[in-house]
Amino acid sequence: MPATRAQIAEIEQLYRQHGPALLLFAQAITGDRAHAQDAIHQVFLRLIEDGDHRRALDVKAYLFACVRNAACNYVRARRRNVELADDSAWFDPPDHDHAAELNLRRALNSLPEDQRQVAVLHVWGELTFSQIADLLEISANTAASRYRYALARLRDALCPTENPCAKP
């Protein structure tokens, strides 16, 4: 049964609230912005058609799970990896520091997929390690460990080490 106007308004609010983080997460899985958008649109269209989100205890985690399933279905169907485009806009960085944004995207892209997913879910998706654990079907400790490893790799990639040749 199609959603009522009130339900559609609620779904639109969910899209506005969580859409950017869902897009980043889907893009981290598919490696392609257009296919990530398709996955998100599929999920929200299904919500409008079925209204399944009302039965979920944690709507945000439910949305991330649905987007993950849609994105993974795309990846399985294509059976190939697509590099993330360097010129795609994932998010609006503070003060629009495009060089820093590019460096961050490259550093995120260099992470192993499991670490990248956890980092994106925790930082941009604002999910707890418990929610991430449920979503990825891993333990909360594993999610926290992957996050720590991701942060360490990002720190190494983004924070230059001291130059031993530099004058004090």
Residues in contact with 23: Cβ distance below 8 Å, sequence separation at least 6, in sequence order = 33, 36, 37, 40, 90
pTM of the model: 0.60
Query: Looking at the domain that runs over 97-160, which CATH code has it been given?
Result: 1.10.10.10
Largest Cα separation within the chain, whole Å, is 71
Identify whether the C-beta of residue 71 lies closer than 8 Å to the C-beta of residue 30: yes
3 state SS of 138: coil
Cα separation, 59 vs 14, in Å, equals 9
Compute CA distances 134 → 1, 17, 32, 63, 129, whole Å.
29, 21, 25, 13, 9
90-117 residue pLDDT tens = 555 455 666 777 888 888 888 999 999 9
Residue 101: per-residue pLDDT = 75
First-last CA distance in the chain: 71
pLDDT reading at 81 higher than 90: no
Identify whether the C-beta of residue 84 lies closer than 8 Å to the C-beta of residue 31: yes
Please give the share of the chain, as a percent, with pLDDT higher than 90: 45
Residue identified by tokens 């190939």 is: 80
